[in-house]
Amino acid sequence: MADQSAPQEMTEVSEAQIAVHWKEEEYFQPAAQLVAQANLNDPRVRERFALEKFPDCFREYAAMLDWFEPYEKVFDGSNAPFWKWFTGGKINAAYNCVDRHLAKYASKPAFIFVPEPETETETRITYQELYTRVNEMAALLRDFCGLRAGDRVTFHLPMTPELPITMLACARLGIIHSQVFGGFSGQACGSRIQDSGSRVLITMDAYWRNGALIDHKQNADIAVQTAKELGQDVDKVLVWQRYPGKYSAPTPMVNGRDYFVNEVLKNYRDKIVEPEKMDSEAPLFLMYTSGTTGKPKGIQHRTGGYLAYVAATSKWVQDIHPDDVYWCMADIGWITGHSYIVYGPLACAATGIIYEGVPTYPDAGRPWRIAEKYRVNIFHTAPTSIRMLRKLGPEEPRKYNYHFKCMTTVGEPIEPEAWRWYYNEVGKKQAAITDTWWQTENGGFLCTTIPALDAMKPGSAGPGAPGIHPVILDENGDEVPAGSTRAGNICIRNPWPGIMQTIWGDPARYVQTYYARYNKNPASKNWRDWPYLAGDGALLAADGYFRILGRIDDVINVAGHRLGTKEIESACLTVPEIAEAAVVPVMDEMKGRVPEVYIALKPGIIASDEIRARVIKANEELIGKIARPKHVYIVPDMPKTRSGKIMRRVLASISNRKEVGDVTTLANPNVVEEIRVMVQGKDAQVTQGEIPEDIAKFGEEK
């Protein structure tokens, strides 16, 4: 009998499923030179880290660290899904990143700071100097600010060495740091101060960005004011000076509240602060990230498990040796910077570059000049920078004499074409690329190839990292097999040491967001019953490589950075004339996605450019420039279901010039055509072809 299921299956294929019938890419093999010297070259590593070996396999990771007291248990799942790692162990992150390297590497640079202006010379900070500066700063935090283990401190620091120094000073004392990306607005910083309950804000007066010395101190005043309005008082604002001895911001200091760090530090010269022996489970830091609600969540990372995980993945996936020069171009204000500029590479005794400014300043040759000058041999960046550098200077890398052995891409899916440029031009066909998929919540890489062991496939992140067992689950919780062309929700079957502890102050949200979807028995103490929901759509090819398709929730990934649509919509609604706001992701050649805003005005209000401008300003002030909408459309009404729900998916199709599909069931179908003409023009053609999963399913009820 003929297979009758075939036509039926066809009709059930969704737009997103059609979109993923992409052609398989060819494999690329790592260079022999890289393989010969790699930290991880045991082809049986994934057997060593097989699921049956959980959790004991992770002892290997803990063994990469120095413990004051050994741990008793590798893993404790008794309070699932609040996992504990290496319990009973005592450890200090700053000790592991600095002190323990002094015996061998005291005079080797830990960091080379490269200022944005090319006329300024770099600063080299040896491990010995880092030790001194971290100790002095720790003394200041303890004795001048009265901070103790478990207290929270918010930073709003730019990309200078003072940021890792302050992080490590906190870690030395067990103070929980919460760095807010320097590009976020003062108000965004203020709400994070309030959520974390910080009494101290640490900032810098100014920093260089795209050729301008930016007044950053003004954001501190706004942040303190915002926190106060939300009920959190800040007693002290510590201000590092970009040029010590000189105040570079026009905004005045506030008497009795603001202090120049470098002046106060004079009282703590050469002070030594013993590293606190912290419980392995003591929180190390908070990192706020966007989710489906308007309020960013404080992702809480532990000390022992996190540090073990980032040390191991830095060593094995990025192949960092102490004699390598490693440059990650991310900002330390994001999780990539915490894990793979500060904690991971320092735990491996690397020499790392900290670059202050934008990669294309003053021209697209800048990164390659830096690579040549400082002999960088491991490079780490995001697709958005790769696209930008390719567009502005496709042949620039050829002009410079540098040699990368490994390169990483992170933060968003990389299209095979951009991947090939990265491989051919930036890597000069010599460097192995690791496309690392992970998230703020995860601590470190989840899917990636191992440079010396696995072939690379453009556009695919690869298999799970050692000890990580990803699976694709469908709507019903059934496993989607490898080689199927069906996309589904990528989940991780098992806990791992780098996973967050919880959401700061909101454990219920932690369970709800990451585990509720596929957990069938909330009382279960068995970790096998708690698959971790990452929030990304993905496909698993027959070769076991995962291809990440994008977010399945209301998060827009702008240039590799997460923005919650609800955050943007709430910012729009602060403009009093606005009745409703809807934000959608739009495909962008450089940034991957950018937000576009649709607004409906209150009755009697006339649309104007002035209102549009205020919507843009509200987003810049409440979130930051990164949230600036590409367009603001003032529409007569939002397309809505009969139950009154705004159909963001329809707006997303219009913004992306795609078919809107069947809208006849809407409460107001006619408005769709009106909006389409407003956005696209009367005779616009929709484009055919792939509809990325995050857009095809955007705003869908989950």
Binding site for ligand PRX (CB under 6 A): 289, 335-336, 410-413, 435-440, 461, 534-536, 548, 550-551, 557, 560-562
Q: Whose Cβ is closer to ligand PRX: residue 588's or residue 637's?
A: 588
152-156/123-126 β-pairing: unpaired
Nearest to 617 by CA among 626, 607, 628, 606: 628
> Closest distance between ligand PRX and the C-beta of residue 282, in Å?
23
> Closest distance between ligand PRX and the C-beta of residue 497, in Å?
17
d(CA 501, CA 81): 9
Report yes or no: 127 and 191 within 8 Å, Cβ to Cβ: no
> Closest distance between ligand PRX and the C-beta of residue 289, in Å?
5
d(CA 161, CA 638): 48
Report yes or no: 587 and 593 within 8 Å, Cβ to Cβ: yes
Residue number of the CB closest to ligand PRX reads: 440
The 3-state DSSP class for residue 93 equals helix
Q: Which residues pair with 556 in a beta bridge?
A: 563
> Closest distance between ligand PRX and the C-beta of residue 552, in Å?
9
d(CA 690, CA 198): 46
Q: Which amino acid is present at 659? A: E
φ/ψ of 649, rounded to 5, equals -60, -40
Q: Whose Cβ is closer to ligand PRX: residue 387's or residue 562's?
A: 562
Q: How far is CA 626 from CA 184, 246, 381, 435, in A?
A: 8, 30, 18, 24
Q: Which amino acid is present at 192? A: R
> Closest distance between ligand PRX and the C-beta of residue 133, in Å?
28
Report yes or no: 184 and 226 within 8 Å, Cβ to Cβ: no
Q: Whose Cβ is closer to ligand PRX: residue 412's or residue 454's?
A: 412
> Closest distance between ligand PRX and the C-beta of residue 209, in Å?
20
> Closest distance between ligand PRX and the C-beta of residue 551, in Å?
5
- Which single residue is written with the structure tokens 């393989």? 35
d(CA 250, CA 221): 13
* Sequence-distant contacts of 121-126: CB under 8 A, at least 24 apart: 122/374, 123/161, 125/161
> Closest distance between ligand PRX and the C-beta of residue 187, in Å?
20
d(CA 437, CA 606): 46
Nearest to 435 by CA among 317, 534, 591, 549: 317
Q: Which amino acid is present at 220? A: A
Q: Which two tokens stand for residue 584?
A: 């959608």
- Which single residue is written with the structure tokens 């799942």? 77
> Closest distance between ligand PRX and the C-beta of residue 563, in Å?
9
Q: Whose Cβ is closer to ligand PRX: residue 541's or residue 667's?
A: 541
Q: How far is CA 365 from CA 160, 376, 391, 410, 564, in A?
A: 21, 15, 12, 21, 34
Nearest to 662 by CA among 637, 687, 684, 639: 639
Query: Cα dihedral sign for 160, 363, 376, 318?
Result: positive
Report yes or no: 459 and 497 within 8 Å, Cβ to Cβ: no
The set of residues, in sequence order, having a beta carbon less than 8 Å from that of 561 and lying 6+ positions away, is 181, 334, 411, 626
